[in-house]
Amino acid sequence: MASTLPRSYEAFVQGRVKFRVGRIVYLAFSRDETLLGFAFPKEWRDALVESEPDKYMLPRESDLRFNWVVVRLAAIGEEEMRELVIDAWAIVVPKSVAAAYAERESQVWQASRDGS
């Protein structure tokens, strides 16, 4: 999913799969692929982790300065994963790129709903 988003590309760094827009990492899998770090606003991070501590956790201390949170992949389904990926991507791309993508997806969703 992440590799299909505009301006997104996969990188393999020190044994880990990461997705970037330019030089900004917005997704990073742990080496064992059980955890996913993703871009997320710092000001909402504590509330997210406190709301579902079995699912979300704070990043390691050295990453607390970034807009970043970690999710346990076994705790989420495909639809939630899709939402996390798109939301993380939307944080790092220009707002016009995110808006154009949202508009395109809305049109596709409406067309499928209408049977077009």
- pLDDT surpassing 70 at residue 108: no
Q: What is the pLDDT of residues 5-59, one digit of tens each?
A: 999 999 999 889 999 999 999 999 999 999 999 999 999 999 999 999 999 999 9
Assess contact for 16 and 31: CB atoms under 8 A: yes
CA atoms within 13 A on the CB side of 8: 25
pTM of the entire structure?
0.87
Give counts: helices (H), strands (E), the chain. Answer: 3, 6
| Residue 116: alpha-carbon gap to chain centroid | 30
